[in-house]
Structure 1
Amino acid sequence: MSHGSFVFTSTALRSFQLDEVDMLERDNYKKKLASRKLNGYQLKKEARDRVSLRSSVALPPAICYDLVIQNALYTGDTEAVQRLFPKGSTTANLIIEPQGGDMRWVARGEGLWSLSYEQELTTPLHITAGRGFTDSLRVLLQRGANVELAPGGTTALHESCETGHPECTKLLLSHGANANAVSEEGLMALHMCTSSESLECAKHLLQYGAAITARSLGEDDTPLHVAAENGLPEHIELYLRYGAAVDKQNDQGLTPLNAACSEQQEAHELERYFRACKLLVEAGSDVRTIDQDKQTPLHMACKHANADVVDLLLTHGADVNAMNYGCKTPMQMILQSVCYKTSQRPERVVRSLLNYGSVLVWHVALPTVLKHCGMSPRTIEVLFNAYARLKITDSWVEAVSPEVFKEHQEFYESLFSLAQTPRSLQHLSRVRLRTFLEGRVLQVVPNLSLPTFLKNYLLLESRGYFH
């Protein structure tokens, strides 16, 4: 340990003296125990007296600024940790105040503010557990580190679960860490399992008695909500086996299914969220549950253009024409998102909604749709082919930017040519049949004795042009 790391005040010296006395007492106690001259009553009395002595002189943990100690902890140097935290010392419960951090304004007095680094207090146990340094963590636990210390608002168990280190999690639990400890933000360790790497952590927590029905103090989320929000199908499957309730609503009215559909989803995450939703639906989650904004899972799945989830929800009875508080239907939700989701094939969502009986967009609003969805010609094609006639005017041409028109010139030329040419008899027959079937298109068309290309035509499969 480097010199000058701690200020040895009279209080600190007194603490060291007490440590020395305690070590001498412990040595004498072992000698007496070995000589077998003490009966059971005397052993218990001495143990109680020692605990009483230590509790009466216990000091708050010292704050460590020693960079040598910090470097050993942050790099997982187990040999250095063994040397810097010797047996019998009380340094395993030091409070670490790392240098740096985010800048924030701090009040220094009446009317005085200064820009200072925001420090987060931590402990050796937190540092090693949060970085997966299992050997160093084991040394600290053997040196008597307190598993329940939470100077920064979270325990070391929270840290190990948040960063997904199952061996550290298991080690902490085996040394008495509380699986249901609540952080300063009202979260339990299960709420911190937000990545695929944390699955084994979640298993250990449940084996050590973590409450599967635990609610976060902030948003009233269960661990199942958290797993659904983060699109973690393996976690969901685990929690369901432990009896998690699929239709519990949080303070926003979201069930785990609502939460999964509401979360922002990138293209590479769609399949993972689909599997998560599939597990919840198969476990009995209600696909028509509305949140505080009267939005159903279908509204949100359309907003995020997850076509597989949309199909899943519609297959299990989702209301294709449900309206939220803003009077928006699922069709309006997807059309507002097309410009941001072109890589996720939004035309698939529009096609599914139409095949399940979605009401059509008011004809007068089609130029606006063309303006906002023009960069996805296939979406325009699928939607516009649901109409028997299109009253194309100059406003339609003006709605398509020159850049979009140039990129998809052949498609838009075929669309604008319909201003002088009526739709084909084949198209009119398709619209007539679909109108007759209403919301039963997908129940009837696949069972018709027709060639596959005609079935796909009736189901509005896009072809890249209008005819």
Structure 2
Amino acid sequence: MSLSFPFSSGALRSLQLEAEEQERWEKRKKLCRVSVRPSVNAHRVLVKAPPQLTSVCTDPLFHQAIFTGDLATLQVYMETKTFANVLIPSRNHDLRWDCQQAGIWSLTYEEEYTCPLYVTASRGYSDCLQLLLKKGAEVDFSPSGESPLHGACQNGHSECVRLLLRHGANPNMESQDGTFPLHYCQKPESYHCAKLLLQYGAHVNRQTEDEEFTPLHVAAQHGLLQHVDLYLRHGAAVDRRSINGETPLSVACSHPQGPQDLDRYYQVCWHLIQHGADILSRDKDQQSPLHLACKSANPQVVELLLEKGAEVNTMSYSGNTAMQNILQVTSYKLQNQPELIVRALLNHGAIRVWPGSLVKVLRYCYKSPRTVEVLLNTYSKLRGSEDWAEVVPEEEQQKHLQFFQSVFSLSRSPRSLQHLCRCALRSHLEGRMPRVLPKLPLPPPLLQFLQLRFEDILY
């Protein structure tokens, strides 16, 4: 008779995690068995692989020395023992089920391993890094799945990058998750790291395994103008697509941007367009750069795309136009001045909101009175209703009392003759306004009025 034991779902999950951890450990051991390359004078002397390459060091004084950059203590250790290529236990941010001695299962942080060279390179301790390299540290040793070069680039330590490359580090070393050192240059201070990598032969169009991002995608995503310019000068493909069909321009347009980021991303987008980026490209969701720039609410980028000929009324797979995208984010993008985007879209021929939906727009956009103003100023006749006053909270009405009173009075009085003339001229020039208005011999105030100048009241 065979005996069986009914495992709980938690126990089964823990056994699965144990199996996965064992598999990862086997991969780490394979990574540790790196082949040590011969030195420059290979015909005279061959560098031998260091002994006990995969041994684990738990000496707390040694750990403190490498994690704090204590060169004096590290020199003492290097004189007495071989510590250049040992494994250093570390913890990542992932949790796993672990069985304690008392037989209780609990969540603990997964244990990983790194090496002294990675620690010193990622923390910018160039003196300690140089000492380890002199003592035979394997320059591409990557027990954690990332090489020391990855760590140095990630934190922008260009001197460490220079040392590693001079000692033969592979500038095209692939990490465990399929990324390359150039993809780790994600901060402004990593510019010189990227420059060194390219000088030593890094491939500028290598793509990541998961997203298929090139270094240009990464630089555009983080708004790094210097990096973008560097990669383009080294032959980066300006319209290379990711797995989701995103170009670097799309990535720059879609990245979340606060008021302090708007100019930086505008400069990146302008630079990409100057180098031939396709402003009409679509990703797998059929979103154009204009759709994405409206989602991130960058008025400068939207104006740029419209000036370069972006199609203002195309729809994504979800059925959204650029106008719908900006109206959906208006209430929580107030600091980005979404009203400027709405006005620019309308001046370039965006289809107006159906009058029956204006109460819905008012409900979601009342925090941006100028957005409401510019939308309502595109209609010559508009009959308000009692519902309009009900959807705007009383405290918001008090903040902009004059404006909302003028909105709610639309049901009782007609628009001014001046406004009706504006609507008539805009209707006559529909689809041609950006080209024709600058050619008309009109004074600047009148031109601004025709282009829906903000007045904070409806006449």
Q: TM-score range by the shorter chain?
A: 0.7 to 0.9
Q: Distance in 1 between matches of 2:134 and 2:247?
A: 43
Q: Distance in 1 between matches of 2:207 and 2:399?
A: 51
Q: CA deviation at 1:461?
A: 1.3
Q: Secondary structure at the match of 1:211?
A: coil
Q: Distance in 2 between matches of 1:330 and 1:122?
A: 47
Q: CA deviation at 1:76?
A: 1.1
1:316 aligns with 2:308: yes
1:436 aligns with 2:444: no
List aligned pairs for 1:88-167, cutoff 5 A: 89-98=81-90, 101-102=92-93, 104-106=95-97, 108=99, 113-167=105-159
Moved over 4 A (4+): none
Q: 1:191 to 1:336 in 2, by over 3 A?
A: same
Q: Distance in 2 between matches of 1:47 and 1:248?
A: 45
Q: Distance in 1 between matches of 2:150 and 2:76?
A: 27
- Structure 2 regions of 5+ residues with no counterpart? 1-41
Partner of 2:406: 414
Q: Once structures 1 and 2 are overlaid, which stretch shifts more, 362-371 or 416-425?
A: 416-425
Aligned Cα RMSD in Å?
Answer: 1.9
One of 265, 282, 306 as aligned partner of 2:298: 306
- Structure 1 regions of 5+ residues with no counterpart? 1-42
Q: Distance in 1 between matches of 2:79 and 2:449?
A: 77
Q: Secondary structure at the match of 2:84?
A: helix
Partner of 1:76: 69
1:63 aligns with 2:75: no
Q: Which amino acid aligns with 2:95?
A: R
Q: Deviations over 1:165-203 (max 9, x none)?
A: 111111100011000000011000001111111100000
Q: Which amino acid aligns with 1:401?
A: P
Partner of 1:39: none
Q: TM-score, normalised to structure 1's length?
A: 0.86
Q: Which amino acid aligns with 1:263?
A: H
Paired residues of 1:105 and 1:113 also in contact (CA < 8 A) = no
List aligned pairs for 1:210-225, cutoff 5 A: 210-225=202-217
One of 217, 222, 226 as aligned partner of 1:230: 222
Number of aligned residue pairs: 416
Q: Secondary structure at the match of 1:92?
A: coil
Paired residues of 2:139 and 2:169 also in contact (CA < 8 A) = yes
Q: Distance in 1 between matches of 2:295 and 2:438?
A: 28
Q: Secondary structure at the match of 1:97?
A: strand
Paired residues of 1:257 and 1:297 also in contact (CA < 8 A) = yes
Paired residues of 2:52 and 2:86 also in contact (CA < 8 A) = no
List aligned pairs for 1:24-423, cutoff 5 A: 58-86=51-79, 89-98=81-90, 101-102=92-93, 104-106=95-97, 108=99, 113-423=105-415
Q: Once structures 1 and 2 are overlaid, which stretch shifts more, 437-446 or 206-215?
A: 437-446
Q: Distance in 2 between matches of 1:205 and 1:357?
A: 46
Q: Secondary structure at the match of 2:206?
A: coil
Indicate the structure (1 or 2) with the bigger Cα radius of gyration: 1
Paired residues of 1:104 and 1:115 also in contact (CA < 8 A) = yes
Taking every aligned residue pair, what percent have the same amino acid on both sides?
45
Q: Secondary structure at the match of 2:427?
A: helix
Q: CA deviation at 1:114?
A: 2.9
Q: Deviations over 1:322-378 (max 9, x none)?
A: 100011100000000100111111110001100100000111000000010000001
Paired residues of 1:103 and 1:115 also in contact (CA < 8 A) = no
Q: Secondary structure at the match of 1:86?
A: helix
Paired residues of 1:228 and 1:236 also in contact (CA < 8 A) = yes
Q: CA deviation at 1:108?
A: 4.9
Paired residues of 1:224 and 1:256 also in contact (CA < 8 A) = yes
Q: Distance in 2 between matches of 1:74 and 1:235?
A: 30
Q: 1:172 to 1:47 in 2, by over 3 A?
A: closer
Q: Distance in 1 between matches of 2:351 and 2:98?
A: 58
Q: Distance in 1 between matches of 2:45 and 2:293?
A: 62
Q: Distance in 2 between matches of 1:398 and 1:415?
A: 12
Paired residues of 2:98 and 2:108 also in contact (CA < 8 A) = no
Q: TM-score, normalised to structure 2's length?
A: 0.87
Q: Which amino acid aligns with 1:152?
A: S
Q: Distance in 1 between matches of 2:338 and 2:243?
A: 31
Partner of 1:24: none
Q: Distance in 2 between matches of 1:417 and 1:220?
A: 55
Partner of 2:3: none
